[in-house]
Structure 1
Amino acid sequence: MRKTGLFLLMFFCVIAVQSQQYQVDTSYTIKSTFTKLVKKHPFITIPELKPNTDVKESFDLVYNKDQNRVLHFDAFVYTKKKKNPAVIMIHGGGWRSGNKNQMQSIGKEIAAKGFSTFAIEYRLSLEAKYPTGVIDVKNAIKFIKDNASKFNIDPDKIAVLGCSSGGQMAALIGTTNNNPIFEDASFKSKSSSKVNAIIDVDGVLAFKHPESSEGDMAAFWLGGKSNEIPENWKVASALSHTDKNTPPVLYICSSIPRFHAGRDDMIKILNENKIYNEVQTIADSPHSFWFYEPWFSETILYTTRFLDKIFK
């Protein structure tokens, strides 16, 4: 009986470990952020979208399995055309919180304008440090390209869009096309992770910069403070990689300056290389503005107008 009891105890311990391999931070949500922002901005509302028969929705599709960790994405596919530009979407949350569900409304609305959009799950800092999440998204891009016909996309018209920390990641992904530092050689794919446009929604472009502030969440994701691991702080900054090969960029900005750190320096490099770029600043807006009306519609307008210019 003692042996049986010990066996059962060990069995349930193994099950418990397997069922919770990583912590989840649920502090950053659309509702909790709304509760904070509505006090200063009483006119804001959470968008309510009507179903669109031209958009096919698919949830929790698998793009990778890594050591028993399954990574998913949601797809919103415009069905009236067989070859749409694609938008890869990266949620925010300080590289620690948030989830792909937060990009569903944006994805649906952009898809309705003639695109295929994809909200990506990636590993956050409580589970895996930099650059794992960046590599995850690049693997998702490869998978989606491999299945281009299934998702009605043109693999040569791929934009990456991110909000807040997701915006930082989007800019880094777009400025490191084919950079081996951020590529997973073990991921089986016939496609590259190259993207053809960047949309950075209030994400910093340089971690160590006169305009930036050294945050604890960035330090936690990057594996230490800037004086401890300066190379990570430099290499994780999109500004460090911006050059003649950087694709066109749209910056959608709040009215809070610290989220724009490195932007003007990046624009200078883009202009020197005659690379199209555009800045849209939403007046008197807080960070996380993209979740709420009236800023949600403004974000969609700037995004789709930029995508039409670049791809259509």
Structure 2
Amino acid sequence: MVFGGLQGQSYVGVTGVADSSYTNEIAFEKTRKTHSNIKLVKPFQLANITEKYDIIYDTIGYRKLKLDVFHPSTLKTDNAAIIIFHGGGWRSGNKTQHHPLAQQLANKGYVCFTPEYRLSTEALFPAAVLDAKAALLWVRNNAKKYQINPDKIAVLGFSAGGELAAFLGTTQNIPLFQRKNSIGSSTKVNAVIDIDGTLSFVHTESGEGNDTNGTSAATYWFGYTKKEKPFLWKLASPLQHVDKDTPPTLFLNSSVTRMHAGRDDYVKLLKRYGTYTEIRSFNNAPHAFCLFKPWFDQTVQQIDQFLLKVFR
């Protein structure tokens, strides 16, 4: 195991049964109670987009990890790639969550990938991180097939997926966060888009680790409470690893501050290193704003404008 010092992790949440408590439809039903004007964005039918599903990007024992691909039917050269990680508290959700987003970004010329990763019902931290890194390596290894410029690979995620995307951006080529058989292979990231993903599990703004009303998502994922292993909660925070190599980053945020805990401190560090960053906040928007109209189209537009700027 990569983290040999994690003896005593609680596996009570590793049920082996998928947690279906968070889906786009469930998020929609919950959110429209407070935002009655929203519309759930569903997959599109776009004739000029090629879609391929359930491509195996890695295998862990008998477990086959899969991703879906969306790209313009006619591929040009020098394409930018976007790897999109879904949300769900590292415990729920699945790779179909952002198919509409991948379709619309592919419609703008990007090659998009939506990988699954092992959730806390199946495996504890750092499994999801190692899976996300493996998906990144698969994209890099298949860059020629999709005519991707290896210097134009962005990672994007919503909520838990946003945290994973930021973590990949801040821990490039660090062996501790890669599978042993991939050490030496580049896990470089060229841009990060974090949609309401926490930047720190130990920040004062963070709600993760509050188990008073039930076990928090992060507690399930780490297998320890924040009090039991504070060093682990800090180590797993993207904010802890920001340095001069952290790539340009776009933050797309709701009005729910705890969902992007640590963002302002993260931005201060990026500015200190002279790294380009943008914050785009949607006033009065719910946490899952990127799944709904009226914010979906603006989300696509902001992502496109940011990547055009940093990949020009």
Q: Which residue of 1 aligns with 2:283?
A: 283
The residue number in structure 1 matching 2:308 is: 308
TM-superposed deviation, 1:91? 0.2
Q: Deviations over 1:59-83 (max 9, x none)?
A: 1100111110000000001234133
8 Å Cα contact 1:84-1:152 kept in structure 2: yes
Residues 181-209 of structure 1, C-alpha deviations (whole Å, 9 max, x = no match): 11112249x84221111100001101111
Structure 1 runs of 4+ aligned residues shifted over 6 Å read none
Instruction: Give the CA deviation at 1:212.
Output: 1.1
1:23 and 1:153 map into 2 onto residues whose CA distance is: 36
Pick aligned residue for 1:54 from 48, 51, 56: 48
What residue number does 1:264 align with? 264
User: C-alpha root-mean-square deviation of aligned residues, in Å?
Assistant: 1.5
Secondary structure at 2:40's aligned position in 1?
Answer: coil
Match of 1:24 in 2: 18
Which structure has the highest helix share of the two? 1
2:4 alignment partner in structure 1:
none
Q: Which amino acid aligns with 2:282?
A: I
Aligned to 1:87, the other structure's residue is in SS state strand
Structure 2: which 5+ residue stretches go unaligned?
1-14, 210-215
Q: Return the index of the structure with the highest Cα Rg.
A: 1
Is it true that 1:149 corresponds to 2:134 in the alignment?
no
In 2, Cα distance between equivalents of 1:171 and 1:252: 12
Q: Which residue of 1 aligns with 2:204?
A: 210
Query: Is the 2:244–2:273 contact (alpha carbons within 8 Å) kept by the matching residues of 1?
Result: yes
Question: Counterpart amino acid of 1:234?
Answer: K
Q: Is the 8 A contact 1:145 1:191 kept in 2?
A: no
AA matched with 1:179 = I
Displacement of 1:52 in angstroms is: 2.6
The alignment partner of 1:109 has SS state of: helix
Q: After TM superposition, list the pairs within 5 Å mapping 1:104-119 onto structure 2.
A: 104-119=99-114
Deviations 1:147-170 (A, max 9, x none): 112223111211000100110111
Q: Deviations over 1:68-123 (max 9, x none)?
A: 00000000012341331100110000000000000111111111111100001100
TM-score, structure 2 as length reference: 0.90
Q: What's the offset of the Cα at 1:259?
A: 1.1
Q: Distance in 1 between matches of 2:260 and 2:170?
A: 16
Match of 1:16? none
Q: Percent identity?
A: 44
Preserved CA contact (<8 Å) 2:75 2:147: no
User: Structure 1 residues 171-180 or 36-45, which shifts more?
Assistant: 36-45
Shift of 1:54: 3.0
Correspondence list, 1:75-86, <5 A: 75-78=69-72, 79-86=74-81
- After TM superposition, the score normalised by the length of structure 1 is 0.90
In structure 1, the partner of 2:163 is 168
| Alpha-carbon offset, residue 42 of structure 1 | 1.5
**C-alpha contact 2:44 2:103 (8 A) present in aligned 1:** no
Q: Which residue of 1 aligns with 2:247?
A: 247
**How far does the alpha carbon of each residue in 1:210-232 deviate from its partner, in whole angstroms, 9 at most, with x for none?**
11123311111012111111121
Distance 1:88 1:62 in 2: 15
Q: Which residue of 1 aligns with 2:8?
A: none
SS at match of 1:100: coil
Q: Deviation at 1:24?
A: 0.4
Local SS of the residue matching 2:82: strand
2:176 is the alignment partner of 1:181: yes
Whole-Å separation in 2 of the counterparts to 1:256 and 1:147: 37
Kept in 1, the 8 Å contact 2:43–2:99? The answer is no
Q: Which is worse superposed, 94-103 or 73-82?
A: 73-82
CA 50–218 in structure 1, closer or farther in 2 if over 3 Å, else same? closer
CA distance in 1: counterparts of 2:285 and 2:208, whole angstroms: 22
Is the contact between residue 45 and residue 292 of structure 1 (CA under 8 Å) also seen in structure 2?
Answer: yes
Give the drift of 1:53: 3.2
Q: Match of 1:300, as an amino acid?
A: V
Deviation at 1:48, TM superposition (A): 4.6
Q: Does the CA-based 8 Å contact 1:116-1:152 persist in structure 2?
A: no
